[in-house]
Structure 1
Amino acid sequence: MENDGHDRAAAGQHLTPAEDLAADGQRARQEGRMILLLVSQEDCPFCQQIKEEVLLPMIKGGDHQDTLLIRELFIDFDYQVRDFSGQWVSGNTLARRYGAWMTPSLLFLDLEGRELTKKMIGIQTPEYFYFYLDQSIREALGRLQRRD
């Protein structure tokens, strides 16, 4: 089975980088999942905080394992990714398409790369962040199920 972001995290590693979102979209379709895309930068302390305090523990705990494919999109360097239409673009170009100018940003996407609910930008209230994330995931999943 391909990496869904959960096995690397369970091993204490990093999130799975976004490399081929067209393939991830197909996988999401086959498995009835949505894509949670973290837009981040290498030297972003808040990106690291979200990964260490929220996303990796969420993955390790098995939360949303059957409903999410989690990917990390880097917008620094010359990072290239295949977008949902199969075209190669820079991570920065893809993030701009979604209006994700700030890092960290969390995008809740369907199998074609359409946003299912409002993106989460930055960390406003760290102590409530997981609650807001879970709320956004549930809202996005509800919209995804209504589209099917």
Structure 2
Amino acid sequence: MRYLLSLLSCLLFWTSLSAMPNADSSFLHHPPYTLADSISSVKTDHSPVILLFFTHTECALCAYMERVLFQDKKLANFYQTHFTAFRVPLDSEIELVDFNKENISTTKLAQRFEISTNQLPVSIFLNAQGEVLYRFQGHTQRPEEYQWLGEWILNQGDKSEEAFAAYRQQRYRESSAENLLPAAEASHAFFDSTFGDLQEELSHVKEEQKAGILLFFEMENCPFCQRMRETALIDPKAQTFYRQHFKSFAVDILSDVELTDFDGTTMTQKAFAQQHRVRVTPVVIFYDAQGQTLYRHSGIITDSQEFIWLGEYVVMGGYKKENFATFKQAKRHTLSTQ
């Protein structure tokens, strides 16, 4: 998350951003193009999947994807090898030829896939018949994640959001074990992708019937936050438990990156942390489906089992009748007698 936030902070300065020349993502074909031709070439070529990347010049996350992530040579080579990829800009009406060899504008193509500008960026993956394999809405935090998305599209049968989340967790663990990424980077798999709109995330919590939202408050150069990311947050069992019961997001208490509060108010992450009285880190706060605070835990937890117990303490309503120390002591006693 911190890797992404430092980059997004720069992207939010729109005066300087708009002055930047458009970076040419080597694996994305720019309009005008004929999608019908891509279907015939996909059937005979080595690129079995079509990617439509919907973007807009005023979308900060789109700019981050195109001007930072997509410039990664390994990622670009992977998509150039395995996909036929098209850039679909929605900031202007550009005429294209669709899969049925009919003229269509970029905005009409977006409407066909039920994409609006406030959902961007959106990646649509299609097979050789032009059928949607998977819709990925949002950004990835690192170029590796977007490559893993492509690997998963090519190799996995189950195309559910939960299946990709599990695959992403697996790849982070493998990369960390092989020392391809620092241990703390594997903790990215613990957190859900988000546009930073907590009010919208509450609706997802209700739809998915989860217990609520977990916010992990941290800050740059916090050794206790770093240690927690390298221990409890990378444990597969902890990641699976929290993904089942909560939507989990990281908040940098010193960041000027904006988010939308539970009540729809836009503010910086720094102001949000101050509003919730977070001044030292790490702090974990659990919120219910209405955005009301359920429980607040201050301080580091490095033991993954204890971290799971913290989640159980909230899910089971233990916080209503006893403190966490008592709950944890009972859990340890039960574990020792088994």
TM above 0.5: yes
Q: What is the match of residue 235 of structure 2?
A: 57
How many residue pairs get matched? 139
How far 1:17 moved relative to its partner? Answer: 6.6
The equivalences for 1:39-58 within 5 A come to 39-58=217-236
What is the alpha-carbon distance in structure 1 between the residues aligned to residue 220 and residue 290 of structure 2? 27
CA distance in 2, matches of 1:91, 1:45: 20
CA distance, structure 1, for counterparts of residue 294 and residue 284 of structure 2:
12
Name the larger-Rg structure: 2
Cα separation, 2, equivalents of 1:40 and 1:9: 21
Residues 1:94 and 1:10: Cα distance change in structure 2 (over 3 Å): farther
Richer in helix (by share): 2
TM normalised by structure 1 equals 0.77
CA shift at 1:11, angstroms?
3.5
- State the match for 1:108 in structure 2: 286
Q: Is 1:93 the counterpart of 2:262 in the alignment?
A: no
* 1:93-128 deviation per Cα after TM superposition (whole angstroms, max 9, x unaligned): 2122222211110011112221112x11122x645x
Contact persistence 1:21–1:83 (CA under 8 A): yes
Work out whether residues 16 and 70 of structure 1, in 8 Å CA contact, stay in contact via their aligned partners in 2. Answer: yes
Task: Provide the C-alpha distance between the structure 2 equivalents of 1:59 and 1:25, rounded to a whole number of angstroms.
Answer: 24
Is the Cα–Cα contact under 8 Å of residues 258 and 268 in structure 2 kept in the other structure?
yes
Which of 288, 307, 315 in structure 2 is aligned with 1:141? Answer: 315
Name the SS of the counterpart of 1:100 in structure 2: coil
* Aligned equivalents of 1:73, 1:51: Cα separation in 2: 13
Quick one: which of 197, 200, 219 aligns to 1:20? 197
Per-residue Cα deviation, 1:3-61 (whole angstroms, up to 9, x for no partner)? 78x55544325244761111111111111211111001122121111122111224675
Q: Return the structure number with greater relative CO, CA threshold 8 A, min gap 6.
A: 1
CA change 1:122–1:61 in 2 (3 A) is closer
CA 1:85–1:20 in 2, change beyond 3 Å: closer, same or farther? Answer: same
More deviation, 13-22/102-111: 13-22
Q: Is the 8 A contact 2:252 2:269 kept in 1?
A: yes
CA RMSD for the aligned pairs? 2.8
Q: Distance in 2 between matches of 1:60 and 1:140?
A: 14
Counterpart code for 1:50: M
Q: Residue 136 of structure 1: CA displacement?
A: 2.8
C-alpha distance in 2, partners of 1:35/1:59?
A: 18
The amino acid that maps onto 1:29 is: K
Cα pair 1:24 1:111 within 8 Å, conserved? no
Whether 1:81 and 2:233 are equivalent positions in the alignment is: no
C-alpha separation in 2, matches of 1:60 and 1:10 = 13
Read off the aligned partner of 2:257 and give its amino acid letter: Y
Contact 1:76 1:91 in 2 (8 A): yes
Query: Which residue does 1:11 correspond to in 2?
Result: 171
> What is the rounded CA distance, in whole Å, between the counterparts of 2:218 and 2:261 in structure 1?
16
Confirm or deny: 8 A CA contact 1:41 1:103 kept in the other structure.
yes
TM-score by length of 2: 0.37
